[in-house]
Amino acid sequence: MNKKNILLGVTGSIAAYKAAALVRLLVKEGAEVKVLMTNAAKQFITPLTMATLSKHPVQVEFFDPENGDWNSHVKLGLWADVLLIAPASANTIGKMACGIADNLLLTTYLSARCPVAVAPAMDMDMYAHVAHQQNLSLLRLRGVHVIEPPFGELASGLQGQGRMAEPEVIARQAQAILSKKVNLSGRHFLVTAGPTCESIDAVRFIGNHSSGKMGYAIAEELAWRGARVSLISGPVHVSVRHPGIALYRVSSAQEMYEAAARLFPDADGAVMAAAVADFTPESRVEGKLKRGKSAIAITLTPTKDIAAYLGSIKKKNQILAGFALEADNERTNALKKLREKKLDFIVLNSLTDPNAGFNVDTNRVCIMDKDGREVAGELKSKVEVAKDIVDKLSEWAAEH
């Protein structure tokens, strides 16, 4: 965010106190921050606090009544590389949707030529109200980035969706907007992640070492770039940080198949990052298998190949990406999977590199597409690998 100009609009909400932390974070990341407040916002946090943290005077009124000094909303709009409104009250969002211009923040919004993002903050029933939701939809249609509020405890003590996203989430979204990579708005992607668990009895299962980190990093990168994401995840210990990701928790390969088959027809594409079990016990033992002296045999039957199924129903305007984890003949096997599962590209992981693949934070991959293009990457963090994979999806989205 070095030297980027961020205009932060603060409106009247109890979450205004979090705007102070947001300013600190943005300034620490190297951004120039100027703050605009509504009169209602001043009831929740003082201009002095915001001016001290941002190192610029806070602007509230159109002009200073003492000396007539004019705060030009046009100049402010031109100065900003991004306009963030956090917290954004239902009132301000409603006025933005209607084009009402009765304060400096709203006139600046109407004059601004830069990208705009709002982080709504309000009671859960207000947030869910159809009038407010229609206002948000209208803003989304006009290209405003909506940083969804997460579910959690509200100022009223109730639990629900409406509290403002955390400053770290808003700062990360601003970063994505500033890097001009938010080009997946209006797109819907499906991501599978983590292992599957195939039950043997009530307490035992066949699983694998997949941590889910790669799939979760891809889901988050897609969401930061504006896509709606449905993440189908096997049991993992990582959590979703982006509030815009819909998480579908599953356990077995069959459950993952059912969720993917249901969600894929509505998606623009899918990334199959899950380590799906290829076999499952033919029957599950009721209760717990008792220890015995003789060997037992468990008959395993093949599971459904989810990627191959999605490949078989894929329409022309959908993209499908998969992973290949190979111990030998890496390229040949990966290309075979690319063809057989009708993937558009495949991400080859090597089992021979100790810093890549399962249960580590780094990965080294080679991305191969159906047109014969191949890009072999360095050892990188899974977050960086996710960016490379999402770059490939963004290229496709730009053409479709």
Q: Considering the complex, what minimum distance in angstroms separates the CB of residue 352 from ligand CTP?
A: 14
* Binding of ligand CTP by 218 (CB under 6 A): no
Return the range that interacts with ligand CTP (CB under 6 A); candidates 22-30, 228-236, 273-281, 360-368. 273-281
Report which residue type is found at 286.
Answer: E
* Binding of ligand CTP by 307 (CB under 6 A): yes
Any residues with CB less than 8 A from the CB of 142 and at least 6 apart, and which?
Answer: none
Q: Using only the alpha carbons of the chain, give its radius of gyration.
A: 25
For CA atoms 371, 264, 356, 176, give the dihedral sign: positive
* Binding of ligand CTP by 272 (CB under 6 A): yes
Residue 351 is given by DSSP the state S
∠ CA 127-133-134 to the nearest 5 degrees? Answer: 155
Contacting ligand CTP (CB under 6 A), which of 77, 115, 322, 357? Answer: 322
Q: Considering the complex, what minimum distance in angstroms separates the CB of residue 305 from ligand CTP?
A: 4
* Binding of ligand CTP by 386 (CB under 6 A): no
Q: Considering the complex, what minimum distance in angstroms separates the CB of residue 341 from ligand CTP?
A: 6
Binding string, residues 153-192; x marks residues near ligand CTP by CB under 6 A? ---------------------------------------x
CB of 177 or CB of 277, closer to ligand CTP: 277
Greatest alpha-carbon pair distance for the chain in Å reads 95
CB of 38 or CB of 252, closer to ligand CTP: 252
Region of 275 on the Ramachandran plot (φ > 0 left; ψ -120 to 50 alpha; else beta): beta
Report which residue type is found at 13.
Answer: S
CB of 109 or CB of 189, closer to ligand CTP: 189
Torsion (CA) 346, 178, 53, 43 in degrees, nearest 10: -100
Cite the active site residues. 208
Rounded-to-integer distance, Cα 50 and Cα 54, Å: 6
Return the range that interacts with ligand CTP (CB under 6 A); candidates 181-189, 225-233, 240-248, 268-276. 268-276
For CA atoms 111, 173, 136, 8, give the dihedral sign: negative
Q: Considering the complex, what minimum distance in angstroms separates the CB of residue 353 from ligand CTP?
A: 15
Helix pair 382-399, 213-224: axis angle to 10 deg:
50
* Binding of ligand CTP by 278 (CB under 6 A): yes
Return the range that interacts with ligand CTP (CB under 6 A); candidates 15-23, 101-109, 217-225, 303-311. 303-311
Return the range that interacts with ligand CTP (CB under 6 A); candidates 36-44, 52-60, 97-105, 274-282. 274-282
CB of 83 or CB of 306, closer to ligand CTP: 306
Residues across the chain: 400
Contacting ligand CTP (CB under 6 A), which of 50, 169, 324, 356? Answer: 324
Residue 41 is given by DSSP the state G
* Binding of ligand CTP by 337 (CB under 6 A): yes
- Distances from the Cα of 98 to the Cαs of 6, 118, 139, 376, in angstroms? 24, 15, 10, 49
Query: Which residues are at the interface with ligand CTP (CB under 6 A)?
Result: 192, 253, 272, 274, 276, 278, 303, 305-307, 322-325, 337
